[in-house]
Structure 1
Amino acid sequence: MYSIAYKQRSKKLSRFFMQSYASSYFTLQVFNVGSLFITSFVIFLGFSDSQIGFLASIPAIVNSTQVFAPMLYNKLKKRKQIICVLISLKYVMLYSIILIPIIIPKQYQILAFFMTMFLVYTNTMLVTNALTEWNSFFVPTEIQGSYFSNRNLLTNLISMISSVIIGKLLDHYDSQLYGYFIIMMGVLIFAVFEITSLLRIDEYNEDLLEKENLSLKKMVLIPLKDKRYLSYILFCLIFRFACSLTDPYINIYSLKYIKLEYYYLSIIGSITALFKVLLAKRWGKYFDKTGWTKALKFSGIGYAITYIILIFIGSNNTFYLYPIFSILRGVFMIGSNIILFNITLLFSDKDNKMIYWSIQGMIISIFSFVGPNLSGIIVKSISSNKINIFSMQLNGYQLMFFITSVLILGSTLIFTRKKQETSQI
């Protein structure tokens, strides 16, 4: 049980988490694989499409390191210190990428970038769930819904503003090294703010220090013995695998094949973020009102349709169809993420949430690693050919968009139908 004094501090401390999360999200918008900044930087380094696909799969494969996080943190009495140290190391490694074109010979630059990002994402995966769990202990139960909803709104506002600024700067400096340096120096302010905000937060509460140190085998078996959660993991596996096939390539496809500019993409991205801000709370209310089955079905069907829209975007309809695609994809993406997050909380055991999340992340990561690489191979193998589907001539990317749509739609309908049938028995 928490003391009265502890509860009184919870709201204040949760604000520091909000500040830290906002700063972290801003840096994520810049350095995330698939972001405009990283997409531009790897093109500057000379990455091929298949190499970009492999890069996009790195977060997925290192996601499996989450499984070791509970084992690590359960043995530590001072988790705050190790979390802050790991986050600091992450930024040191991220900022080292600007030195790659300067000090690394050309033939080794791509390898150096791969290795750096591998270490960065390994670090990130070790921290993510621990940080989320830490945050949850400082958010009183009665305000959890509004707190996480407001956090979601904040991140979308950040996305809306940052994408315009970064897109404009990338176009202005036109892939010049000093342009990337200027952007990274601006982001440094937010990196420092994230760490200083965390340092102002109390250590973990006493309840966490009493957790049993589990072996890897026991830890893996806890969620896998839960039949309801296991079926949910299988659904998430297919859903996330489908997204991993194409999501890392959407910016590349937009830049190299639809021939869009960075600034245009950033403007559309900001408009999309605005819609996400406006509709985020509505998704939460829709989930509460209709239940997760109907909410998931609606968001999944809508999300699948957006990939079909992308197939039909060409030079003659880009002006109006690309914004429609981007906005709808953003709206249904955030809807799906909010709903899946709530289902994860609903299905996971309250006493072993980090274990449930870690095992789920580990399993899904294996297939999410395969996704971008498989797409890269398929796209490369049919680069000069067209595939005929329903009288449509599709190139490699368009074929993968179609497959993604089918997998998302199929997995959503099957999972929600099975759950409806189970509830009726």
Structure 2
Amino acid sequence: MILLRSRQQYHRKRSVQRKNLRIATMEGIPAVMFMTLLGGQFLTGYLLYLGANSSQLGFVLAITTFVNIGQLFAAFLIQRLKSRKWTLVLFVALHRILWAFTGLIPFVIPKPYWVIAFIILYTLAFIFNTVGGILWNSLISDIVPARVRGRYFGIRNTMMNALGTLVMYAGGIILDHEPGGKGFLILYVFVWICIIVNITMFFFYPDMPFERSTESKFVPMLKKPLKDSAFLKATLFLAGFLFLQNLVVPLYSYVMLQLLHINYQTLSLLNVAQTVSMMGSFYIWGNLNAKYSNRRLLFWTLPIIALSCLLWGLLSVLPMLVVLVAAHIVFGIGVGGFNQLAFNFMIGDTPKSERPMYMAMYAAITGVAAFFGPLLGGNVYSLIKHWPVWMQVYGMQVIVGLAMIVITVTLGRRILKDA
């Protein structure tokens, strides 16, 4: 009788877990759709439509990472929450709605203030997202059992990226057929629908039990990850690498739209190639992760990302589309592994009770570095606009790629590969 009851409880637990995983997966569908249509090439295109210059574009691309500093305070405050779920719903809704309001700017704001209005709404949206992000990471790490975490996120990431490629391509076709304000209006209609569905899906998330920190005060809690030398060294190194990467990568769309005069449909196809290669790499990185540590595999992703930057230099001798396709595919392989392994590093290589502060510390340190990357990169593009075209199109990428290789084979080899 006891054995039968134990089996029934086990099956009920498994059933609840599968239900929760389905909810988390379904929630991701509308999320990836609206984020695809509001980010990447579409964000760059919309800002150019509003009249933004490269410096303003660099600031917008950077601000989402800088506000991650707020996660340090959010990680402390969530220790006092009675419900992570409903606080998550609140901050998710504020983030989504404010971001979607940017689509109303041409209809309610005088044209000279379009860019500044976008920056204000976008910044506010991502301030709320810092809290929502730490809550989601904390909650999802409890929803997904450790034994299936790698497989689940591999499958979920593959599904979401496959959907993202279709949405990206469809969005590119819409903007090519309906350029300017009308095309972006159509995109924002889809965005609003997806946002409403996405917020609704969060109502079905479970409110999981929360293992709280052993510290009750902010400073001692903050010191926990700072005293973890292996974690801190790895995080600081990755922050430096992301700084270099973000000098050029977020501005790829700017270079292709403004300097190479590529249309949205072609740009979408390039991003589709990048996403497909990223999806294919998830399986490979996942299998390797069963044999090697997160830190060691993170090291292996870095020269691949650097190579993707160096490939831009081949524009001097090879056809443009051949080079861009190759660069996007290689970048997809590298960044797919980096993102998956960095997430596993945060939720798998850290103590469970202190995980929110560890995740917040990683986000804050890498966020500051990633902030100054596109901000500086955007200003550099403004400064070199009268320089030879080759320097603007691929010179920056080659210089940054070489710098990435140097820090990888020196600092990275010691901090990550031999960890």
Q: TM-score of the superposition, structure 1-length normalised?
A: 0.90
Q: 1:408 aligns with which of 374, 381, 404?
A: 404
The offset of 1:3, in angstroms, is 8.4
1:17 pairs with one of 2, 24, 32:
24
Q: 1:340 deviation in Å?
A: 2.6
Map 1:88-127 to 2 at 5 A: 88-127=93-132
**Structure 2 CA distance for partners of 1:76 and 1:25, relative to 1, 3 Å:** same
Residue among 114, 125, 150 paired with 1:145: 150
Q: Which blocks of at least 5 consecutive residues in structure 1 are unaligned?
A: 387-392
Counterpart AA for 1:395: M
Give the partner amino acid of 2:146: T
Alignment of 1:270-419 (within 5 A): 270-292=272-294, 295-313=297-315, 317-386=319-388, 394-396=390-392, 398-419=394-415
Q: Deviations over 1:216-266 (max 9, x none)?
A: 322321101011011111111111111211122100101111221100111
Matches of 1:312 and 1:25 in 2, distance apart?
Answer: 33
Please state whether the residue corresponding to 1:289 is helix, strand or coil.
coil
1:204 maps onto 2:208 in alignment = yes
> Contact 1:7–1:140 (CA<8 Å) still a contact in 2?
no
- 1:315 and 1:48 mapped to 2: Cα distance? 30
Of residues 394-403 and 8-17 in structure 1, the stretch that sits farther from structure 2 once superposed is 394-403
The answer to whether the Cα contact below 8 Å between 1:228 and 1:347 also exists between their aligned partners in 2 is: no
- Does the C-alpha gap of structure 1 residues 271 and 417 become closer, same or farther in structure 2, counting only changes over 3 Å? closer
Farther off after superposition, 405-414 or 246-255: 405-414
Equivalent residues of 1:240, 1:364 under 8 A apart? yes
1:64 matched to 2:69? The reply is yes
1:178 corresponds to which letter in structure 2? K
Q: Does structure 2 conserve the Cα–Cα contact (< 8 Å) formed by 1:97 and 1:116?
A: yes
Count how many residue pairs are aligned between Structure 1 and Structure 2. 411
Q: Write out per-residue CA displacement over residues 320-378 of structure 1, whole angstroms, 9 at most, x where no aligned residue.
A: 22111111111121122223333334432232111101012112222222111212222
Distance 1:210 1:52, change over 3 A: closer
SS of 1:202's equivalent in the other structure is coil
2:134 to 117, 129, 144: 129
Cα shift readout 1:179-202 (whole Å, capped 9, x = no counterpart)? 222211112332222222221122
Matched, 1:83 2:106: no
Aligned CA-pair RMSD: 2.4
Aligned to 1:180: 184
The CA distance in 1 between the partners of 2:201 and 2:269, in whole Å, is 30
Question: CA 1:315/1:265 → structure 2, altered by over 3 Å: closer, same or farther?
Answer: farther
Identity of aligned residues (%): 22
**Equivalent residue runs for 1:38-77 within 5 Å:** 38-77=43-82
Partner residue in 2 for 1:223: 225
23-32 or 245-254: which moved more?
23-32
Shift in CA distance, 383/359, structure 1 to aligned 2, threshold 3 Å? same
- Paired with 1:346 and 1:40, the residues of 2 have a C-alpha distance of 37
Seen in structure 2, the aligned counterparts of structure 1 residues 319 and 3 have a Cα distance that, compared at 3 Å, is: closer
Counterpart amino acid of residue 110 in structure 1: V
Partner SS, residue 201 of structure 1? coil
